[in-house]
Structure 1
């Protein structure tokens, strides 16, 4: 056996052991688990008893969701037992239709191709995107007051970088995420934009309906910004 075969055999062994552990902990039957995973009881039985029976990862993901553990731990890819993360890339992928899976796969290949064309390390001018009045005057991306940040890769179409502060755009944009944006003063409906609202910076979804503009949060706990004296679109988030 070569190194890859040995690693796969070790992962399969961990999967069998951890699946048996979860069944013992929960007390549910193999038939009940099979129904939850959308497979026959014979499949679960083979996973537990046949050493070279390699599980299909979409089934591992369904079993992991049922037991609230990460597919990576259950599948033997890591040894840290963590809860299942709804909305993770793995969860999203295996909940898509085959058409959706292909689209996500092709987009992933496109992003990888873009990254391979980028320099190893570059710098960009960036600033904090805040949801409250900033303590310091607004710094333009190309001004002397902007903070210079060093990042591993910068998309060629990006004009500036920004670090998001706050959870108003979660789960799409996590708190602390580094984003890249294109410098532009207009936006289309649905764009994620960097905007100055009455002197304060914010990162929001641009929505326009019937001539009325709203700056919407992705996080449903926050209401859209609808009233202001001065609104200026600074850029469009590209990644």
Structure 2
């Protein structure tokens, strides 16, 4: 039996978080404003969710749509406020105008995190060179996962890349972005052990809350693999 896979669910509020935990999620990615693909939630939202659930929380550090770092001073302030409120896991990732990693921006934000674990998000799927991006980030404190669909358009197109990358890197591959249950067997077979869902955790899509039943179905499929 392969080891239990990590199931990470996007949560927008306390109700989402409670439902995801009840369904069997191992971890939550906390965001707001999914119309902008997920921005940093308020400290108040984080503290309310932290009080409501016992599972790990990874908080998005992203102030505007797109992959530019934007106002770095503000981002550092927000990261510091979340750290002070007890946040100890994060999600971030910035690209420069040429599609390379904005290493200076990443390093500035990571320095505020003081060694906390963090995921480099799907900016990797929009970069000019995946291997170059990984090499540039190698050795940064706390980096333990890349959230990726293997392609900008999602897992359907990115599956060959995901299967080729499985097990090649020190950091965990966290697969998300158009991920469906029928993708799971091939990914599990290749050794992928971390999965990220957003809309798939919601019976009514993004217009509705996280569904305990939807998350539980993902938990069953991952555990069966």
The bucket for the TM-score relative to the shorter chain is: under 0.3
- Greater percentage in strand: 1
Instruction: Considering fraction of residues, name the structure with more helix.
Output: 2
Structure 1 length as normaliser, TM-score?
0.20
Q: What's the TM-score, normalizing by structure 2?
A: 0.21
Larger RCO, structure (CA 8 Å, separation 6 or more): 2
